[in-house]
Structure 1
Amino acid sequence: MSQAEEEEEGFDLGISLEIVATVVDLANAVQEAEEARIGGDDDDEELDDDEEDEITEEMLTDYIDELNEEQQVALIALAWMGRGDYEPEEWQEALKLAAERNARGDASAYLSGLEGLADLLTEGAGAFGLAIEEVER
């Protein structure tokens, strides 16, 4: 086994890829719903009224609120990685600063307010060679 493989196996994001994938899915659904509302015309209003199982931002924030602090911090740090603020070798620093950022306990509001959250998390995981698309759902 190569040293890189050993490091990858021993590396801990502080959150499972399944949870990250769920947040990505919820964030994508919220973004799609918002885009449909913004881009919709009068004929689309009938369809919107019938879609009671539409994913809402509240569902996204509730899910994030249910995560423990370590998982919330990891999501923030992953989003920052995806935005290009940090490199993989700076992960511990990103976690430390994300923990300070999350000290107020508003991770869900902060994350849901990030433009393109799903893409940021996907890119952040990708920086470690992890593919959200490959996670079983």
Structure 2
Amino acid sequence: MEEVLKVAAIGVAGAICALVLKRNSPELGLAVTLAVGVVILLAALSVIMGIVEFIEVLADTAELDSDILAPLMKTVGIAIITKVAAEICRDAKENAIASFVETAGSAAAIFVALPLLKSVLEMITSLIS
């Protein structure tokens, strides 16, 4: 709970600072936005690592192979990075670049998930045979 309050406070303070700076210097406002984003992601890193550890414990309990878990974790990471990058581009009023970032992120997520899809297909094929 306290992590959420810290992140919220940093976000609101950063947004106000960026808003004030964007009036006179849009470039400086964008730089503040990026800096605040990095600080928020660093603050959330401990929570993210806790989630990853919990998922690994669940995978061990369910006796899931790491070949199944790795593509899932990579895909989630790609989605988060893509979302953040696209929103930064939109904040800079570069909607076309944001769309390209989202398209590239989608393609990367599908590419990373291909081994998982292959495993599922092999499992289904073995059940049918």
TM-score over 0.5 for the alignment?
no
Could you tell me the TM-score, scaled by structure 2's length? 0.29
Could you tell me the TM-score, scaled by structure 1's length? 0.28
Higher Rg of the two aligned structures? 2
Which structure's relative contact order is higher, taking Cα pairs within 8 Å and 6+ residues apart? 1
